Structure 1
Amino acid sequence: MTDYFAAITAFDAAIGQAAGADQAFAALQRLAEATVGVKLFTFMTVDMENEVARRAYTSDPANYPTSGTKPIRYDSWFDIVHKERQYFVANTIADIAKVFPDYELIDSLGCQSVVNMPVEIGGELVGTVNMLHDDGYYTPERVDLIREVLAVPAKLAAVLARG
C-alpha cells in the first residue's frame, strides 16, 4: 500500500528547496512515481500567442530532450486538453497513435498508455503534465488519484518553474 502521507511530505520538502524548473518538476515526478506510477514523465509548456509547445522537463532526455519547440496541433487532443481543460487518457498504443505522431518511439519505450493533465493558473493553460506507462495502466481509479494527489502540486511546480 502506498504511503501517501510520506510521498506528500517528501514532495513538500523537495519543493521547498527547489531552485528552478528542473528541481520543481523532478519533485513532481517523484511524487507521481510514488503515488500513481509512471515510466515516462514530461512537462510541456504552452505558448498560445506563438502557437508552440516546449518540453520544459523530461525523465528521459535521450529520447525526449527539452530543446526546441513544436507547433500546436489543432486536433481532438487539443480540444480535450486546451479547450475543455480535461485530462486526455489513452490506454492502448492504438489510441495513442491517433493523436501522437511519435507513437512508435513511445511504444519502443514500453509505454502504451498516457495521461495528459492540463495545468491551469490564473485562468490560463500554462502546460501539461504527461505521464506514460504500460498498456491499460491509467484506469479510472488511477486518473482519479492523479486528480486528488497531483493537480495542486503540479500547479505549484509550474509556478516555481515560471520564476
Structure 2
Amino acid sequence: MYTSASELQVAHSLAASGQPETGFFEIAKAFSKRPGFRLFTILRYDPAAALIRRIWTSHETEYPVGGAKPVSDTPWTRQVLESGLPYVGRNSEDIRSVFFDHELIASLGCASVLNLPVRWDGKIIGSLNLLHEAHHYDDVDPAELAIFVQMAIAGLNAVNLSSYG
C-alpha cells in the first residue's frame, strides 16, 4: 500500500510536541494541496451546550479560535452533525442558505464549502471545513480525504471545551 508524502507528514506531526496545533497545521498544509481552500476551520461539536466551537483556523482575524456558533435543528445539522455525512455547498446561494455569516464568507472570496464531519466512537465530535471559490469542490470525493479527517480525531479529543467559554 502506498502512503502519500502528505499523509506521512501529518502522521509524523501527530507525534511531535505542540498538539493539537501542530497536527492541525499539517492537516491544513495537506488540504492546501488537495483539494485546496481559501478558508479552513476546525470545529469541535459540543452537543451539551448546543454549540460548535472553532478550535483551529487559517484566518485568525476573521474567524478567531474560540468562536462558537449555535447548533439548531436545520437540514445542515441533521446531515453533518447527526448523520455524519459531508456537506458540499457549490455556490453562494448554497452558502447563504446554510450559514448566517455568509456575508463574511463572501468577503473572503469564498462561495463554496466542503464540511467533513469527524466521527469518533460512533459520535460526531467535530468537522473540518474548507471554503473556496464557487464550484471548487464539485468534483471532490470526500472519501478521498477520509485519512486526514480521521487524523484530526486525536486533536479534537484533546481539546478542553471548558476553556472555550
Compare the two structures and name the one with the higher helix fraction.
Answer: 1
**Aligned residue number for residue 153 of structure 2:** 155
- The TM-score, its normalising length taken from structure 1, stands at 0.87
Task: From the superposition, tell whether residues 18 and 119 of structure 1 become closer, same or farther in structure 2 (CA, over 3 Å).
Answer: farther
SS at match of 2:152: helix
Partner Cα separation in structure 2 for residue 43 and residue 72 of structure 1: 15
Partner Cα separation in structure 2 for residue 69 and residue 5 of structure 1: 34
Within-5 A mapping of 1:41-80: 41-80=40-79
Query: Alpha-carbon deviations, 1:87-123, whole Å to 9, x = none?
Result: 0110101111001011111111011110111111112
Alpha-carbon RMSD: 1.8
Moved more, 58-67 or 7-16: 7-16
Task: From the superposition, tell whether residues 31 and 157 of structure 1 become closer, same or farther in structure 2 (CA, over 3 Å).
Answer: farther
Paired residue type of 1:158: L
SS at match of 1:114: strand
SS at match of 1:141: coil
**Aligned residue number for residue 34 of structure 2:** 35
1:114 maps onto 2:96 in alignment: no
Moved more, 97-106 or 7-16: 7-16
Paired residue type of 2:12: A
**Residue segments in structure 1 that go unaligned for 5+ positions in a row:** none
SS at match of 1:8: helix
SS at match of 1:19: coil
- The TM-score, its normalising length taken from structure 2, stands at 0.86
Partner Cα separation in structure 2 for residue 68 and residue 41 of structure 1: 14
User: How many percent identity over aligned positions?
Assistant: 27
**Residue segments in structure 2 that go unaligned for 5+ positions in a row:** 161-165
Query: Alpha-carbon deviations, 1:56-110, whole Å to 9, x = none?
Result: 1111000001134332121110011122110011010111100101111111101
**Aligned residue pair count:** 158
1:104 maps onto 2:103 in alignment: yes
Asked if 2 retains the 8 angstrom alpha-carbon contact of 1:118 and 1:127, the reply is yes
SS at match of 1:79: helix
Partner Cα separation in structure 2 for residue 128 and residue 48 of structure 1: 13
Partner Cα separation in structure 1 for residue 96 and residue 81 of structure 2: 19
